[in-house]
Amino acid sequence: MIPDTLLPSPQDEEVENLHPEIDPLDERAAVDPALFEDMRAEPVFARAVLTSPLHLAVAAESRTNNWTVWNGFTTPATLTDLGDEYRALRGAAALMDISPLVKYRIAGRDARPFLDRLVTRDLGALEVDRALHVVFCEGNGFVLGDGLLFRLDDDEYRLVTEETHLAWLLDSAVGFRVRIEDVSATLAVLSLQGPLAALCLAEAGVANIAELLPFAARWTEIAGMPAYVSRTGASGDLGYEIWIDPDDAPHAWRFLLEKSGPYGLTPAGFDLRELARLETGFPRAGKDYLSAFAAIDAADARTPFDLWVEPLVDFGKPLFNGREALRRLVLVEPRRRVVPLVVDGLEPARFAAVHANGRLAGTATSIGFSPALAANIALATVDAAALAASDLAVRAERREGVSVREIVLPARVLTEPAWNNPRRLAIPAPLKA
Amino acid sequence: MAWGGRKYDAIVIGGGHNGLVAAACLGRAHRRVLLVEARDRLGGAAATAEILPGYRVSAVAHLLEGFPRRLERELKLGKHGLRYAARNIPTVALDRDGKHLLLPRSRKEFSAFAAHLPKDAVAYRDYISRLQTQAALVAPLFAEAPPKPGDAEALRQLLRRLVWRAELGGGATLRRLMRILPESIGDLLDAEFESPLLKGALAFDATLGGSEGPYAPGTAFRAVCREAMRMQGQGVRLPQGGMGSVVDALAAAVSAQRGEIRLGARVARILVEDGVAAGVEMEDGFIVRAPLVVSSAGPRNTLLELLGAARLETGPAMQLRAPAPGGTSAKVNLALEGAPQFAGLAPELHGARLVISPSLEELGHANAACREGDFASDPVMEVTIPSMSDGTLAPAGHHVLSVLVHHVPYDIEGGWPARREAFVQRVVRTLEHYAPGIGDLMIAGEILTPPDIETKYGLAGGDWHQGDVRLDRLFGFRPAPAFGRYGTPVPGLYLCGAGSHPGGGVTGLPGFLAAEVIAAETSVKRTSVGQLDEREPA
């Protein structure tokens, strides 16, 4: 008996006759190369594992093969060694690929009114080629996200955020003549931070870089490729961000390393960015606070007053999202606050729980060992009532070999950022360390 | 008439019955009111239209079901010319085989009903008494403004009153009401009755004006709401001279309060200055200022177009995007050269409200067809012959027939221009079945599809509720949580149309309650409407 599978299936014959005009034995027949292209249509958002346009250039610098994920993008945690990278950042300059940031282009004749209603801050002072740190809230005054808002042209803006907000932006766009595009995939970003950042750019041929004001930006050329350079970056020090076409970005990366390598420019990974951010005390959306829509427990949603000492809320504007709620919230003391902590102890420790008077009073959401302070630092969400307590402490885990020991380390609220160099705002930017 | 020179305290947008009621009540509260209506006549869907010279009929809405007596007295509508041609109009469920069913209102009628449907009689009596107890619980909520969102004390008081009333009614009522909240009217009726005709008629009443079929969850509660709405008035009534006479009386009431009415004045924009309503800009660019703008136009039209979504926060603007109103009723008005004879129907019942909805199945089919963008092969409808009791509508011996056809889609496959004729034919064929020879009596007719109702009478989507009456869009959630108490996030801008609590129908309640809230919230002067608050609604 012959198994069914060995019999020619009736369908095969039909297939053979489908294209009688094609002779499969004709070797000289003209072939359309398009036939051999991968035609599987890929939905734009179907891909879950994303790589930055700089991925191969960055991967070439990796000595650790230590990768992490940032907004779905494969990102180096460290490229060489966190200590080396840190020394470069604080002593010379570090170059990081921050393309995984979410970038929106907001353009149209109503772009300004749209943004005026979207963000809590007054945008009157935002000139073309300038950037502002903005916060946007939902109707109850809870923060959805924060980011950097660039004004590229009279009616064109770029909003750079940590998390995606497209749905909220589109919902908010109803009634405005405004176009909102997610340009994350078509715009690569390099972050060049450190005391020698201006020098590195000058070496790469960027003219008059020292004259660029803090939070200002301008178009320039790097190795003949157009690039938009802004004096921004959350490192607490001099720093620039380079906004560039994704096709040009790997060349710019290599060019910068080649030209400025001798001055100590070092490629660095995501861990360094997090450490620098922690030393400056900037909370990160999704890590130190939850977007109001992501906070399942309403107590996890934060108001701008909980998050920032200068919360960038301008009640002079007649209308913005959350205005009425924030007017009420500004009158009451925040219940919880996000504060920077410094924790005693001379070696890196892992901790999350923050105690006051022996009772749980909060959670450290970002932790790290700050070489600048030679201490553990953290950003923690702490009950406002507990902030005044004298005996703030964290429960830390200390690993010894494979065993773990729980120890209580005293903590203090940090009044000054761990790193805030006046170079950050110096005019003109220093070209020497 | 002074136009710009005069100062107004309030501008009412839209001269439908709710706009007129709001204008008259604000006038009573010593506000100088300007009412602007975009069309050349007042009333919106409450209007009397002429089919032929001498043949007049209520154009869209044709019965007065929940018009509160309180409102009639306050505004002295009787003095302003409102008369009734018929009161307490009975409902008859028409049967295909001529065994029509008069829904009983009295003991005598009940015994006839019991003889007709012995198996369902007791169940029907129970059903009605239960429906009325439940409706009595809900009815006071319809007669007062919903509590302010976030005002815990007001909400607590409201709930306490509700629970007290329920306890007085035996306690089981509230529990039963809770149980039927998500239930469908079809399931409820199937469990209790046998007669398909009775079930069809009761379900027809529960679903009329909505887009849901009889087996849709929540429709059982709609039956309660409908009954509660009826309790606001005093039985089903027929105003003499059609719906237009209600509007005429209301307009006279507005004028009596020194209110000014401008026709053909279309508002292009609601002006906001410093975050506060400042007046309106007319289509011709003319600007009228007033610190109070009250709109009886649909909530979406008012807030998303006239005000502009840009002037609201994202959240409230988003809430309005959801309830896109879509009417599911068409109107057919016929002029007849003679009296129609419904087979098997007693002559005195020809003036009744005749419901053609033979069974739940057919109602369900009509709904399914409507959802698929078609009208039913056997349309379900509500027929009145107003000229039976109102001689002013047609020449002697002649009649007008007013037919409300339910479950007719706004967007029809093939487009309404192509399908109109077929639709009329189908309605007439159905009528012909019940009243043989009616086709020959027809001398003229007018058909209003949902799009016609929208363009001719200004009801967005042809929906007289300005957004479905659903559980999640009632009370303080109507039309959306951010606009639940007639107010809007813009101080000085209020809603007073059917889109607000308690909903559509010629009841005047949204306008009346809105005026009450406005008078309370903006009490710059001593108001007489304020006195109304003290009186506990019936």
Tell me the C-alpha distance between B242 and B65, whole Å.
14
A190 Cβ neighbours under 8 A, 6+ residues apart? A54, A95, A96, A97, A98, A241, A242, A244, A249, A252, A253, A256
Hey, which residues 320-339 in chain A have their CB within 8 Å of chain B? 320-324
Whether residue B366 contacts residue B406, with contact meaning beta carbons closer than 8 Å, is answered with: yes
What DSSP line would sit under B305-343, residue for residue? IIIIGGGS-HHHHHHHHS------EEEEEEEESS----T
Which residue from A113, A138, A168 is facing B310, i.e. has the nearest CB? A113
Residue in the structure block whose two tokens are 């406002």: A384
Q: Which CATH class is domain B10-46+66-84+241-324+462-534?
A: alpha beta
| Interchain contact B277–A (C-beta under 8 A) | no
The residue of chain A with its CA nearest to that of B311 is: A319
Residue in the structure block whose two tokens are 């009605």: B128
Model pTM? 0.83
Whether residue B327 contacts residue B398, with contact meaning beta carbons closer than 8 Å, is answered with: no
The domain segmentation of chain A, as residue ranges, is 50-99+187-280, 102-185, 335-418
pLDDT(B65) > 90: no
The domain segmentation of chain B, as residue ranges, is 10-46+66-84+241-324+462-534, 104-228, 325-460
Q: Which tens digits make up the pLDDT trace of B211-267? A: 889 999 889 998 998 898 888 888 888 999 999 999 999 999 999 988 999 999 999
Lowest mean pLDDT among A118-122, B25-29, B476-480: B476-480
Tell me the C-alpha distance between B280 and B289, whole Å.
6
- The CATH classification number of B325-460 equals 3.30.519
Tell me the C-alpha distance between A99 and A295, whole Å.
26
Structure tokens at A418: 């761990």
CB distance B315–A321 less than 8 Å? yes
CB distance B318–A176 less than 8 Å? no
Shortest distance between the Cα of B309 and any Cα of chain A, in A, equals: 5
Which residue from A143, A162, A101, A168 is spatially nearest to A307, judged by alpha carbons? A143
Q: Name B72's bridge partners.
A: none
pLDDT tens for each residue of chain A, 433 residues long = 555 555 555 555 555 556 667 676 777 777 677 766 666 666 656 667 889 999 999 999 999 999 999 998 999 999 999 999 999 999 999 999 999 999 999 999 999 999 999 999 999 989 999 999 999 999 999 999 999 999 999 999 999 999 999 999 999 998 899 999 999 989 999 999 999 999 999 999 998 999 999 999 999 999 999 999 999 998 999 999 999 999 999 999 999 999 999 999 999 999 999 999 999 999 999 999 999 999 988 888 999 999 998 878 999 988 999 999 999 999 998 999 999 999 988 888 889 999 998 899 999 999 999 999 999 999 999 999 888 877 899 999 888 888 988 899 999 999 889 999 999 999 889 887 6
Q: Does domain A335-418 have CATH number 2.40.30.110?
A: yes
Q: Does domain A102-185 have CATH number 3.30.70.1400?
A: yes
Helix axes B196-207, B118-142, angle to 10 degrees: 10
Phi, psi (rounded to 5 degrees) for A221: -130, 140
DSSP symbol at B353 = E
CB distance A321–B314 less than 8 Å? yes
Hey, which residues 289-328 in chain B have their CB within 8 Å of chain A? 304, 308-311, 313-318, 321
Structure tokens at B516: 């009450």
Phi, psi (rounded to 5 degrees) for A174: -60, 130
Q: How far is CA A278 from the centre of its chain?
A: 13
Whether residue A305 contacts residue A143, with contact meaning beta carbons closer than 8 Å, is answered with: no
In this predicted structure, what is the pLDDT of residue B61?
87
> B437-468 in b/e burial notation, b at 16+ Cβ within 10 A?
ebeebbeebbbbbbbbbbebbbbbbbbbbbbb
Tell me the C-alpha distance between A155 and B18, whole Å.
43
Angstrom CA distances, A122 to A34, A137, A176, A315, B200, stand at 53, 14, 18, 8, 61
The residue among A319, A323, A327 with the most chain B CBs within 10 A of its CB, best to mutate, is A319
Tell me the C-alpha distance between A199 and A221, whole Å.
15
The residue among B314, B318, B483 with the most chain A CBs within 10 A of its CB, best to mutate, is B314
| Interchain contact B264–A (C-beta under 8 A) | no
Q: How far is CA B220 from the centre of its chain?
A: 18
In this predicted structure, what is the pLDDT of residue B417?
92
CB distance B309–A321 less than 8 Å? no
CB distance A139–B315 less than 8 Å? yes
The residue of chain A with its CA nearest to that of B309 is: A175
- The CATH classification number of A50-99+187-280 equals 3.30.1360.120
Hey, which residues 85-124 in chain A have their CB within 8 Å of chain B? 110, 113-114, 117-118
Q: How far is CA A222 from the centre of its chain?
A: 23
pLDDT(B488) > 70: yes
In this predicted structure, what is the pLDDT of residue A3?
53
Shortest distance between the Cα of A185 and any Cα of chain B, in A, equals: 27
Lowest mean pLDDT among A354-368, B5-19, B104-118, B161-175: B161-175
Whether residue B512 contacts residue B502, with contact meaning beta carbons closer than 8 Å, is answered with: no
Q: Which chain A residues are Cβ-neighbours of B315 within 8 angstroms?
A: 138-139, 321
Structure tokens at B531: 């006195």
The residue of chain A with its CA nearest to that of B310 is: A175
Which residue from B358, B305, B486 is spatially nearest to B98, judged by alpha carbons? B358
Structure tokens at A360: 């749980």
Beta strands in B484-536 (DSSP E): 493-495
Which residue from B304, B311, B321 is facing A319, i.e. has the nearest CB? B311
Task: State the number of CA atoms in the 13 A half-sphere of A208 facing the CB.
Answer: 7
Q: Which chain B residues are Cβ-neighbours of A116 within 8 angstroms?
A: none
The residue of chain B with its CA nearest to that of A115 is: B310
Q: Largest alpha-carbon pair distance within chain B?
A: 70
In this predicted structure, what is the pLDDT of residue B1?
40
Which residue from B206, B200, B155 is spatially nearest to B180, judged by alpha carbons? B206
B253 Cβ neighbours under 8 A, 6+ residues apart? B20, B24, B75, B76, B77, B80
DSSP symbol at B348 = G
Neighbour count for residue B261 (Cβ, 10 Å):
20
Which residue from B464, B375, B357, B458 is spatially nearest to B424, judged by alpha carbons? B375
CB distance B318–A171 less than 8 Å? yes
pLDDT(B170) > 80: no
CB distance B308–A175 less than 8 Å? yes
CB distance B313–A318 less than 8 Å? no
Shortest distance between the Cα of B302 and any Cα of chain A, in A, equals: 13
Phi, psi (rounded to 5 degrees) for B61: -70, 135
Amino acid at A212: L
| Interchain contact A136–B (C-beta under 8 A) | no
Q: Do you find a cis peptide bond into B479, omega within 30 degrees of 0?
A: yes
Tell me the C-alpha distance between A292 and A302, whole Å.
7
Angstrom CA distances, A111 to A106, A132, A155, A162, B464, stand at 6, 15, 6, 21, 37
Which residue from A175, A322, A323 is facing B310, i.e. has the nearest CB? A175
CB distance A175–B275 less than 8 Å? no
Q: Which chain A residues are Cβ-neighbours of B314 within 8 angstroms?
A: 117-118, 138-139, 168, 171-172, 321
The residue of chain A with its CA nearest to that of B275 is: A318
Q: How confident is the model at residue B268 (pLDDT cuts 50, 70, 90)?
A: very high
In this predicted structure, what is the pLDDT of residue B530?
36
Q: Which chain A residues are Cβ-neighbours of B270 within 8 angstroms?
A: none
Tell me the C-alpha distance between A244 and A253, whole Å.
10
Angstrom CA distances, A112 to A125, A154, B269, stand at 12, 9, 21
CB distance B313–A322 less than 8 Å? yes
Give me the total of CB pairs closer than 8 Å, taking one residue from chain A and one from chain B. 43
CB distance B314–A114 less than 8 Å? no
pLDDT(B407) > 80: yes
